[in-house]
């Protein structure tokens, strides 16, 4: 924080003033019973951008597994799995956000953007928050029961890493690295869902490259996102890569962007993917990252939030589109048309 920057104007350990919180007057949350609103807010149901962070790696993972599988799955099976993983991501995101808000409630009261979160403002107690997190965890079990058992084995480290994340912000300036791993683990879960072993010697190299590329992507967008709160994070003692690299974030994210594209190229090369992947996924990602890093204004919170939202569609969308294009190329109907 620079000298002269304004400090948060509320005590660091007292609840945020409730009279400044305005209940939702429009949108989905306004239609819920009043008692349900704080729990919907804990799940961030009114803020879909964060859901994209959870869901896009699953779409990418499904399309990747469909491309390297011996025989491509049917489109119906792919859509069914995509639907299951969408519900899984809504539940997983809700549980992760609730756990994070409970763990970080003292920090949240000192950060302008977060001070009216349900636990921070006192609408949900600490005990209620933990019970709700546990309930969401149980709600995810039926989803896993509809998937191969290997998916459950992969879900364990994902859950543990999301639980670890809020504590990482207390001890290291690199919590974005920690966050990247449970998001990237979606690649392995989706491989398991399509009965592809991501640790098979012939597959692991490309799967690992795609995994690390996803970690790089998470670090890029979450570091940009963290610049919204950098002044308050410094005051509250919250560590992040935005704080650590406050004056060189664009250099950092540019290096990570190059690494991400190189890893995507390596993943495609090792897996023998087609030209549509290299053109759309790799080329599209390079263009999207150059555009995002070049145009975001890290000094303007609204710009950071805007590019955080757009980045999921620009980067995640292009990676998924290239892989899905190759999946379609492998479909018997496509081959019949183009080889007739």
Question: Would you give the distance in Å from CA 54 to the centre of its chain?
Answer: 4
- Give the mean pLDDT of 293-312: 93
339 or 231, greater pLDDT: 231
221 or 237, greater pLDDT: 221
Two structure tokens written together for 140:
């995810």
In this prediction, residue 3 carries a pLDDT of: 36
Mean pLDDT value across the chain? 91
In this prediction, residue 14 carries a pLDDT of: 47
334 pLDDT tier (thresholds 50, 70, 90): low
Residue 300 has pLDDT above 90, yes or no: yes
Share of the chain above pLDDT 90, in %: 80
- Give the mean pLDDT of 269-274: 97
In this prediction, residue 336 carries a pLDDT of: 53
Residue 228 has pLDDT above 70, yes or no: yes
- Give the mean pLDDT of 59-72: 96
State the Cα–Cα distance between residues 75 and 147, nearest whole angstrom. 17
- Nearest C-alpha neighbor of 284 from the set 264, 307, 267: 264
In this prediction, residue 280 carries a pLDDT of: 97
Per residue in 80-133, pLDDT (tens digit) is: 999 999 999 999 999 999 999 999 999 889 888 889 999 999 999 999 999 999
Question: Would you give the distance in Å from CA 210 to the centre of its chain?
Answer: 15
Residue 15 has pLDDT above 50, yes or no: no
Residue 265 has pLDDT above 70, yes or no: yes
- Give the mean pLDDT of 127-142: 97
Per residue in 178-204, pLDDT (tens digit) is: 999 999 999 999 999 999 999 999 999
Residue 64 has pLDDT above 60, yes or no: yes
- Nearest C-alpha neighbor of 78 from the set 91, 65, 93: 65
State the Cα–Cα distance between residues 58 and 240, nearest whole angstrom. 25
Residues with Cβ within 8 Å of residue 82, at least 6 apart in sequence = 58, 59, 62
Residue 275 has pLDDT above 50, yes or no: yes
Residue 13 has pLDDT above 80, yes or no: no
136 or 23, greater pLDDT: 136
Instruction: Give the CA-trace dihedral at 179, 183, 184, 187, to 10 degrees.
Output: 160
In this prediction, residue 330 carries a pLDDT of: 87
Residue 53 has pLDDT above 70, yes or no: yes
- Give the mean pLDDT of 40-67: 95
- Give the mean pLDDT of 287-310: 95
- Give the mean pLDDT of 42-62: 94
Residue 18 has pLDDT above 90, yes or no: no
Question: Would you give the distance in Å from CA 248 to the centre of its chain?
Answer: 23
**Contact 118/41 with Cβ under 8 angstroms?**
yes
């Amino acid at each position: 924080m620079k000298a002269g920057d304004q400090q948060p104007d509320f005590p660091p350990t007292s609840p945020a003033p409730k009279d400044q919180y305005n209940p939702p007057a429009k949108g989905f949350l306004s239609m819920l019973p009043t008692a349900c609103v704080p729990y919907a807010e804990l799940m961030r149901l009114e803020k879909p951008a964060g859901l994209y962070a959870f869901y896009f790696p699953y779409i990418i993972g499904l399309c990747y597994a469909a491309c390297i599988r011996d025989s491509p799955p049917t489109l119906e099976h792919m859509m069914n799995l995509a639907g299951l993983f969408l519900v899984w991501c809504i539940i997983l995101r809700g549980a992760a956000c609730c756990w994070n808000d409970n763990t970080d409630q003292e920090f949240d009261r000192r950060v302008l953007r977060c001070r009216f979160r349900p636990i921070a403002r006192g609408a949900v107690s600490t005990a209620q928050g933990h019970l709700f997190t546990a309930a969401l965890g149980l709600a995810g079990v039926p989803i896993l029961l509809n998937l191969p058992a290997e998916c459950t084995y992969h879900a364990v480290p994902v859950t543990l890493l999301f639980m670890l994340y809020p504590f990482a912000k207390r001890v290291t300036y690199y919590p974005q690295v920690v966050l990247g791993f449970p998001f990237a683990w979606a690649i392995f879960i989706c491989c398991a869902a399509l009965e592809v072993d991501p640790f098979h010697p012939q597959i692991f190299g490309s799967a690992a490259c795609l995994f690390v590329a996803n970690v790089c992507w998470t670090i890029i967008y979450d570091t940009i996102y963290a610049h919204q709160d950098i002044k308050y994070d410094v005051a509250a003692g919250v560590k992040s890569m935005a704080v650590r690299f406050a004056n060189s974030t664009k250099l950092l994210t540019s290096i990570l962007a190059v690494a991400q594209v190189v890893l995507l190229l390596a993943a495609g090369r090792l897996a023998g993917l087609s030209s549509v992947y290299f053109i759309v996924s790799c080329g599209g990602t390079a263009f999207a990252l150059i555009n995002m890093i070049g145009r975001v204004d890290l000094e303007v919170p609204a710009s950071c939030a805007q590019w955080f939202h757009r980045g999921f569609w620009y980067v995640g969308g292009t990676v998924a589109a290239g892989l899905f294009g190759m999946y379609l190329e492998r479909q018997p109907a496509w081959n019949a048309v183009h080889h007739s």
